[in-house]
Amino acid sequence: MTNQNQLISDLNDRSREVFRRVVEGYLETGDPVGSRSLTRLMSEKLSAATIRNVMQDLEYLGLLGSPHVSAGRVPTQLGLRMFVDGFMEVSEVQATDRAALEATVGAAEPDVGSLLDRVGSALSGLTHGASLVLAPKTESPIRHIEFVSLAPDRALVVLVMADGQVENRVFTPPVGQTPSSMREAANFLNALAEGKTLSDLRREIAVEISARRQELDALAAEMVESGLAQWADQGEPWERLIVRGRSNLLEPEGDLDRIRTLFDDLERKRDIAEFLDLTEEGEGVRIFIGSENKLFSLSGSSLVVSPYMNADRKIIGAVGVIGPTRLNYGRIVPIVDYTAQLVGRMLTGRGKG
């Protein structure tokens, strides 16, 4: 950061304006910016030759690059980082964007997972990138557990938490399950579960099933084990990661190899979620450009991410947007920031209910 500050201070006003206009033009169109187009935009009257000389100096400093011999200039990764840190003007969240995000959390939906899914879909729609939402761990004590038969080969396990949160998962029940074995399984779990967190219950359940195998119907025992298996990795970050809007990354003129690499990266949920967990190191929006984030360095993508907090100001999750390096950072940064605050307020409000 110190080197960047020194570099910015060393630029004269003319160089700063040329640099800023090249970056803004590139972020808007995705195309190299030429000296002739800048002659119409500069605040002082300059010839194309003068502007070319300034652009060559900026290229020498590593801030601009030229994709082709006869083309205009585009910002390098260093240039984008310097623009984001020292030149970018962050806008306010537009009223329409704010309303769209608030509408996703306005419904009386007890399932946090469904709410965060809608938030992720809205975020990807507004930013035209792929959204990442790292859901909070479920650490509230359990109030009630229920099994619901949906079909001979499909059942639903429902967890009602003490804070009012409801989570459910569809799973394949053991063959031969009956309504009575489902009730027995639920009664067995509820007798053990009340007041315990999910992680507490998982630790005890294997011991209890073994000790009470004689009095617990075999089908009910299988139902308990297969039902709770749906939450086997629930506390792990990769099981709490929601990715939405991959299709937004398919630009008609996009580099197919880059996009293919990015899609492969997005499939590695474990790596992404563990990286997002690192946002617990600090508050506020963070921007990772290109190779600054090792997970997406090969695809040349940018990640804008912000943690969200609970009522105790403890960071419990994160929301973010990933896309090409020519993201509209000035618009996306406040949207991600507002979404993180909105999710934090939503979860805090539910905890008080």
DSSP output for 122-137: HHHHHHTSEEEEEPPP
Residue 296 to residue 276: CA distance in whole angstroms: 13
User: Residue 233 has what pLDDT?
Assistant: 47
Question: Strands across the sheet with 286-289, in order?
Answer: 241-244, 130-134, 315-324, 301-309, 286-289
Boundaries of every domain in the chain: 1-87, 95-137+238-351, 142-233
User: Residue 55 has what pLDDT?
Assistant: 92
Residue 336 to residue 307: CA distance in whole angstroms: 9
3-state secondary structure of 13: helix
User: Residue 353 has what pLDDT?
Assistant: 43
3-state secondary structure of 250: coil
Residue 272 to residue 293: CA distance in whole angstroms: 10
Ordered mean pLDDT values, 10 residues apiece, the chain (353 residues): 63 90 90 89 87 92 83 90 89 92 74 84 92 78 86 84 77 81 83 77 70 62 64 53 82 67 72 65 81 72 87 82 89 95 83 49
Looking at 40-104, list the stretches that DSSP marks H as alpha helix, in order from N- to C-terminal side: 48-60, 77-86, 95-104
**Distance from CA of residue 256 to its chain's centroid?**
23
Q: Cβ–Cβ contacts within 10 Å for residue 264, how many?
A: 11
Strand partners, 159: 145, 167
User: Residue 139 has what pLDDT?
Assistant: 65
Q: Fold for domain 95-137+238-351?
A: Beta-Lactamase (3.30.450)
Residue 300 to residue 217: CA distance in whole angstroms: 56
User: Residue 93 has what pLDDT?
Assistant: 93
Q: Which pair of tokens denotes residue 324?
A: 């090409």
User: 142-233 — its CATH code?
Assistant: 3.30.390
Q: Which amino acid is at 282?
A: G
User: Residue 169 has what pLDDT?
Assistant: 77
Q: Are 134 and 307 in contact (CB under 8 A)?
A: no
Q: Fold for domain 1-87?
A: Arc Repressor Mutant, subunit A (1.10.10)
Please classify residue 2 by burial: count the beta carbons closer than 10 Å to its beta carbon, then call 0-12 exposed, 13-18 middle and 19+ buried. exposed
Q: Which amino acid is at 291?
A: S
Strand 286-289 to 301-309 pairing: antiparallel
Q: Cβ–Cβ contacts within 10 Å for residue 53, how many?
A: 14
Residue 287 to residue 223: CA distance in whole angstroms: 45
Q: Are 271 and 237 in contact (CB under 8 A)?
A: no
